[in-house]
Structure 1
Amino acid sequence: MTPGDPALAMLVAVPAGDAVPGYVHALERAASYLSEAQRGLLRQAWAVGAAAHEGQTRKSGEPYITHPVAVAQVLAEQGLDVETLVAAILHDTIEDTPLTRADIARQFGETVAELVDGVTKLDKLSFSSRQEAAAESFRKMLLAMSRDLRVILIKLADRLHNMRTLGAQSPEARRRIAIETLEIFAPIAQRLGMNLIKAELQDLGFRALHPWRHTIIDKRIHSQPLVRREALTQIEAKLAQRLALEKLDHQLVGRIKTPWSVYTKMRSQGRSFDQVMDVFGFRVVVASVPDCYHALGVVHAVYKPLDGRFRDFIAIPKANGYQSLHTVLFGPYGSPIEVQIRTLEMNLIAERGVAAHWAYKMGIETGGNSAQTRAANWIANLVESQRGTGSSLEFLENVKVDLFPDEVYLFSPKGDILSLPRNATALDFAYAVHTDVGNHAVTARVDKKLAPLRTKLVSGQTVQIITAKSAAPSTQWLEFVATSKARTAIRQQLKQLEHEDAVQLGHYMLDRALGAQGTALDRIPMPRLDAYLADNRYSRLEALLADIALGNRMPVQVAQALAQEQPQSPAKPGARNPAATLSQERILITGAERGVISFAQCCLPIPRDEIMGYHSAGKGIVVHRLECPNVAEYRKSPDRWVAIGWDREVAGDFSVAIRIEVENRPGVLAQVAAAIAQAESNIDRVEYLERDSNIAVLRFGIDVTDSRHLDEVIRGVRRLHVVQDVQRC
């Protein structure tokens, strides 16, 4: 820094001894693992931050600087490096004080400045709502996380301290912040393996959201009956004795349930408090991986294991890097005993997750830290996902899906292990392998047997995806994928395919309209075309053509504008008027259209029906049956009519509705459904239109290939003696 630099005004002499507040001494004690010079840098950061935040207070009335210092203390208790702690102390300065990113970079280095900038929220004035601002802020934070994981560690510590001091907020703010914590930040902490922070965030969120429930459950947890405390002691003593006899150096601790874990189990499993608490939990920490399996044998010798309740997360770690052996034993008091067995390193990673990477001394585990590597891969996938997402709110919803993964572990044919959320399908697996594999997936082999892409997978299965170059995603895929990566990739590909279809259709429609003017698109001078595109704010011709197909521009009007002063082609004697010729050309529906051509829900046209097309703004061409009651209204806008018909090779399933009048008695619905299925038609929906003691009128939405197929369905239903009438809606 040079004299006169504005940042100098922020700098004060670093106080020593008694001049330093107690909260700074508390930070230094928590950061005792740092060198004396590094702890001096923390004091310097505090002095700069205190000067920058001078005059600012929290809602509790405390000086604002106490908050960022407390955030740094949370991180110091996790063993983070000095750059992270300095960035934590300064994390609100760019947003809330005159201190700039350049000021921080000059004094504390580019890395600290990058961390502070990554944590800084966006200007909320740019957004239409608080939700949109929060979502965009989260997207920005994610991109910063992809460059340096420490950004999210600071953000989590910031949220943790805010939750610890939530009492000063209004009831509405407490509720909003608590919900956000439980939905976003606690799951992120879990996804990063930071179980200590996750557990406290969940507990504080639960207490803020449901204070009465939290108080009751917490009181009951800490007032366990004497008989339970004695049982816990007896089991612990027996396990410790056998582990000692085997000369296993170990730590054995009982696990205490939190109010949040009790509450969620009571709700999700429909259990009472006593049923949830009727489980003893222990953790065994040993020196090495072989000792883990040795200890497993010992505890199985003390109490018999429950069949099917053993999980080996050492051989196959969880997605967040968590490693441990889990087993459940038959207890001596009729209660199950849950035991986790892990090494010291695994225990550190289980508690601190990615933060454990910076806690190791002398560079141990820095290259192969499973938690950090997996977290980096997860964030890289999210970054890839957000590139194909339309809005920040949509992206945030996709991330929420990824934050609650009860994982299944699957194998590729080469033996690679992939972890996916529970309920993941073969199609999710395809997209996990590679986006191109997912986009061209046709079917799958699950344990060497052919299976559809919608097949839900279970742990241990080997999955192979069969692809074809001609294959492409369909909108139905969105109904059964479970991962945000698959969902985003499918939507992105569908948009691309719809755009290509729209450009092709728009080109056809504009060419036809220009033909009526006696010219063609390739005969329009480029300067005139470029001027038209510029005047109407189109960056490319493809954007104009897509807009024409979607009904946002009328092809006749565009053609008239482009054909101005364009010389007409002289008509040969006896030749037909090109406009008349083109007016007879019809767009033919093949069944492969994606988004540009849709079928009206009012009349549900199917192949072999007499149809017309109506050019609807924003929707493209909407197809109606000629007998549809709405067609009379569309006749008032002949310029929007489109000549359309069915291709000879039209293929696919088309939605149609039939109205069935039946006798109202048990089993009738099943009989009708069976008759429809026998005619090889799929039922999409069923609803009762009328119902009394004798007669019921139902509306079935079904899929057929054409009108002849529909006739077969109707004949099959009519044969039922319980059916009184069938007709197409």
Structure 2
Amino acid sequence: MIDVEDLIALVRNYNPRTNAELIRTAYDYGLRMHEGQFRHSGEPYFTHPVAVAAILTEQRLDDDTIITALLHDTIEDTRSTYSEVAKLFGPEIAELVDGVTKLTNLQLSSSETRQAENFRKLFMAMSKDLRVILVKLADRLHNMRTIRSMRPEKQAQKARETMEIYAPLAGRMGMQWMREELEDLAFKVLNPEARKSIIRRFITLQKETGDVIPRITADIRLELEKAQIEADVFGRAKRPYSIWRKMQEKQLTFSRLSDIYGFRVITRSEADCYAVLGLIHQRWRAVPERFKDYISQPKSNGYRSIHTTVSGRDGKRVEVQIRTRQMHEVAEAGVAAHWSYRDGVLAQNPFAVDPAKWISTLTEGFDEGDHDEFLENVKLEMYTDQVFCFTPKGDVVKLPKGATPIDYAYAIHTRIGNSCVGAKVDGIRVPLWSRLKNGQSVEIIIAEGQRPQATWLDIVVTGRAKGAIRRSLREADRSRFVKLGAELARVAFEHVGRKVSDKALRTAAKTLGLPDADELLARLGSAELTAREVITAIYPELASQPAEEVDARRPVVGLGADQTFRRAGCCQPLPGERIVGITYRGLGVVIHTIDCPALAELEDQPDRWVDLQWQDGRHAPVYTVRLAMTIANGAGVLGHICSLIGSQKANIADLQFIDRKPDFFSLIIEVELRDVEHLHTLLTALEAESDVAQIERHRDMASKP
């Protein structure tokens, strides 16, 4: 455990005017309060608060935050009280400690409405004083560093929560180093074999090519010396999780993944940043579409830097980040730079953002009335990266990566989004599902009377657009959905031997956090709620009853009595997926998944579209789905894979070899499944097999109607 004088020395390194006596008092108080308490590892519990405080000294934070770290578990886990902490250390520290205590008690990984409400409380705590979150993040980082002493199931739960919530939150706050370490620590728990595999491959690569980092660093320094530019150059290999995520996103093997090295150039001035960029692009070939200028267009958390990717030595791609020393301080500390000290005074960094303004940009446009939308919006905002587009007048519009012209339209104004019929990007007409890129100029074409389409929900990526589209769809179709929802509710209640009533519907609405029965029926009719969720809200004892078998002859809701249907061969929709029907002359209604690329050709024929949804209940395993697989070419491998598919209660309907090589086979297997959950279970089982190199759902656009 770090001694109190060593901790004070860490603080004095950046704040010579620190109140050392108050830190000593807090240290002694925390040690006394936690006396007799031990961690899972057997160490004295107080080693944890001290380690959290030490982590925060790396960000050069103020005395109040360091003291809060030392005391952050006292009110929750000891006989200490809020009033006692306030009396000894002042009301501000007491408020911070109490805030961390409340955050610790939030179940951020619990499901749906409870989770959404707890996220609201998280953001409320952040809006009061962001230092509460800084302490909580440091607390989580130390817990993840020492997680091996926990039970395996507790390790998995904490790792998932870290990956889903705390790591992206750290990244959104600009603390990229913390995000990367949290992700990698969670990855080590959740997928240890994948992490070990990447480390082994990386070691093999270093043996084959040598350590390229010193060589490339020397090359960059040489170019800087020639141009007489003073700058510091650092290089590193990316973390295992970062490499693994890139392999998954780009569907590449490790040997084909090139940009696994990152380099950073820290200059003396902004002008030098652009001069260094020019030198690097002159010396090495720039990779198209891998350039971002966050100096001219900074992120909302204050991050400024130039990013470029070039083909370096031996054709290997390397990422280079270029920024000034002040920009680097903000890049390391993120929003925490607002409280950073240097030489005993708050650092006057012009790039540090006002935390209150940052919080407002993060939560702007969140719909206060809808738990599900709030939760979705929060997660979208936390995971987002940004692109910058221009209006025809030259104003800048910030959007998340992957945003479309529809997202852009809603970012301008809800009215513009609702009436959008087309878009021009850099003067050229483009489809509404196009992904916008940095620096593009966007013009939205509107028409009176135009209303959002349901398919837009699967095109847009911003929470603001999704919320506005859902509200518009609910308003336009509300009466129809209420009527359909009432019929679905009647049938669902009859199935469990109950009678639907206004009181029952009001009770269900209240339990599900909805304002009234009409809203519940509207969501039931629009498939935002299932009949089973409504029944469970009132009669939870019925939740464990087995789902009723669905008639395979009429598995979908929304068809006319005389309409026939079949599943589209291109996307092969499964129960549980959002679907839409398209009428074809002579074929009846063909069911597609809502994201099927074939629908793009039918966007201008809305009269052929039919609103459909799958029946609630247990479907028979009769729905074929094609899986593309690459497996090892070894004795018994194919037989083992077929046995594994059978063990998952899936029947093989067809098998076709696509490619045969000495070391692997590529094949298409068609299996019969119940629903999308059955598919995910099967994919998970197959992905875990060491003989399966790659597996994915195969969509054959040649099979479209």
Q: TM-score range by the shorter chain?
A: 0.5 to 0.7
CA shift in 2, pair 1:243/1:550, >3 Å: closer
**Preserved CA contact (<8 Å) 2:108 2:161:** no
Q: What's 1:297 paired with?
A: 278
Q: What's 1:310 paired with?
A: 291
Matched, 1:379 2:306: no
More displaced, 203-212 or 89-98? 89-98
- Specify the SS of the correspondent of 1:409: strand
- Specify the SS of the correspondent of 1:327: strand
How far is the alpha carbon of 1:81 from its aligned partner? 1.2
- TM-score where L is the length of structure 2: 0.65
1:635-659 C-alpha deviation (Å, 9 max, x unpaired): xxxxxxxxxxxxxxxxxx9987876
How far is the alpha carbon of 1:251 from its aligned partner? 0.9
**Preserved CA contact (<8 Å) 2:103 2:122:** no
Unaligned ranges ≥5, structure 2: 484-501, 508-514, 528-556, 564-579, 590-597, 615-621, 625-652, 654-705
Find the aligned partners of 1:76 and 1:61 in 2 and give their Cα distance. Answer: 25
Matched, 1:660 2:587: yes
**Preserved CA contact (<8 Å) 2:59 2:336:** yes
Matches of residues 311-460 of structure 1 in structure 2 within 5 Å? 311-359=292-340, 361=342, 362-365=345-348, 368-370=351-353, 375-381=358-364, 384-385=365-366, 387-391=368-372, 395-435=374-414, 437-438=416-417, 444-448=423-427, 454-460=433-439
- Specify the SS of the correspondent of 1:59: coil
Find the aligned partners of 1:255 and 1:311 in 2 and give their Cα distance. Answer: 20
Matched, 1:50 2:31: yes
Q: What's 2:9 paired with?
A: 29
Matches of residues 460-609 of structure 1 in structure 2 within 5 Å? 460-465=439-444, 473=452, 475-492=454-471
Find the aligned partners of 1:278 and 1:597 in 2 and give their Cα distance. Answer: 45
- Specify the SS of the correspondent of 1:31: helix
**Preserved CA contact (<8 Å) 1:283 1:339:** yes
Find the aligned partners of 1:403 and 1:204 in 2 and give their Cα distance. Answer: 19
How far is the alpha carbon of 1:456 from its aligned partner? 3.7
Find the aligned partners of 1:200 and 1:194 in 2 and give their Cα distance. Answer: 10
1:276-327 C-alpha deviation (Å, 9 max, x unpaired): 3676542211100111112222233433434554332222234543322233
Find the aligned partners of 1:684 and 1:55 in 2 and give their Cα distance. Answer: 63
Equivalent position amino acid for 2:279 in 1: V
Q: What's 2:228 paired with?
A: 247
**Preserved CA contact (<8 Å) 1:426 1:455:** yes
Matches of residues 685-724 of structure 1 in structure 2 within 5 Å? none
Q: What's 2:190 paired with?
A: 209
Q: What's 2:85 paired with?
A: 104
Find the aligned partners of 1:211 and 1:373 in 2 and give their Cα distance. Answer: 39
**Preserved CA contact (<8 Å) 2:326 2:351:** no
CA shift in 2, pair 1:337/1:380, >3 Å: closer
**Preserved CA contact (<8 Å) 2:404 2:432:** yes
How far is the alpha carbon of 1:463 from its aligned partner? 2.7
1:306-362 C-alpha deviation (Å, 9 max, x unpaired): 455433222223454332223333434232343222111122222221122322545
**Preserved CA contact (<8 Å) 1:250 1:287:** yes
How far is the alpha carbon of 1:59 from its aligned partner? 1.6
1:511-548 C-alpha deviation (Å, 9 max, x unpaired): xxxxxxxxxxxxxxxxxxxxx99xx99xxxxxxx975x
1:8-63 C-alpha deviation (Å, 9 max, x unpaired): xxxxxxxxxxxxx6443443232122345523222222233334334332222223
Matched, 1:284 2:284: no
Matches of residues 105-184 of structure 1 in structure 2 within 5 Å? 105-121=86-102, 135-184=116-165
**Preserved CA contact (<8 Å) 1:252 1:285:** yes
1:261-288 C-alpha deviation (Å, 9 max, x unpaired): 2222222223333333676542211100
**Preserved CA contact (<8 Å) 1:190 1:320:** no
Aligned residues: 540
Find the aligned partners of 1:676 and 1:332 in 2 and give their Cα distance. Answer: 48
- TM-score where L is the length of structure 1: 0.63
**Preserved CA contact (<8 Å) 2:237 2:260:** no
CA shift in 2, pair 1:294/1:487, >3 Å: same
Equivalent position amino acid for 1:91 in 2: H
**Preserved CA contact (<8 Å) 1:95 1:120:** yes
Q: What is the aligned-residue identity percentage?
A: 40
- Specify the SS of the correspondent of 1:251: strand
Find the aligned partners of 2:137 and 2:297 in 1 and give their Cα distance. Answer: 27
CA shift in 2, pair 1:250/1:438, >3 Å: same
- Specify the SS of the correspondent of 1:87: helix
The structure with the largest alpha-carbon Rg is 1
1:547-582 C-alpha deviation (Å, 9 max, x unpaired): 5x7899xxxxxxxxxxxxxxxxxxxxxxxxxxxxxx
**Preserved CA contact (<8 Å) 2:381 2:463:** yes
**Preserved CA contact (<8 Å) 2:4 2:24:** yes
- Specify the SS of the correspondent of 2:440: coil
CA shift in 2, pair 1:102/1:463, >3 Å: farther
How far is the alpha carbon of 1:232 from its aligned partner? 4.2
Find the aligned partners of 1:117 and 1:190 in 2 and give their Cα distance. Answer: 25
More displaced, 175-184 or 682-691? 682-691
Choose which of 58, 69, 80 in structure 1 pairs with 2:61. 80
More displaced, 71-80 or 266-275? 266-275
Alignment RMSD (CA, Å): 4.8
1:395-453 C-alpha deviation (Å, 9 max, x unpaired): 33432222332432211233232222233122222332345554565655544566675
CA shift in 2, pair 1:434/1:109, >3 Å: farther
Find the aligned partners of 1:404 and 1:29 in 2 and give their Cα distance. Answer: 37
Find the aligned partners of 2:133 and 2:440 in 1 and give their Cα distance. Answer: 34
Unaligned ranges ≥5, structure 1: 1-20, 505-531, 538-544, 553-592, 599-621, 629-652, 663-670, 692-729
How far is the alpha carbon of 1:84 from its aligned partner? 1.6
**Preserved CA contact (<8 Å) 1:550 1:596:** no
More displaced, 481-490 or 460-469? 460-469
Q: What's 1:13 paired with?
A: none
Find the aligned partners of 2:215 and 2:107 in 1 and give their Cα distance. Answer: 62
Find the aligned partners of 2:266 and 2:319 in 1 and give their Cα distance. Answer: 14
**Preserved CA contact (<8 Å) 1:56 1:63:** yes
Equivalent position amino acid for 2:381 in 1: D
1:603-622 C-alpha deviation (Å, 9 max, x unpaired): xxxxxxxxxxxxxxxxxxx9
Q: What's 1:186 paired with?
A: 167
CA shift in 2, pair 1:347/1:138, >3 Å: same
- Specify the SS of the correspondent of 1:34: coil
Choose which of 195, 212, 229 in structure 1 pairs with 2:176. 195
More displaced, 61-70 or 97-106? 97-106
Q: What's 2:569 paired with?
A: none
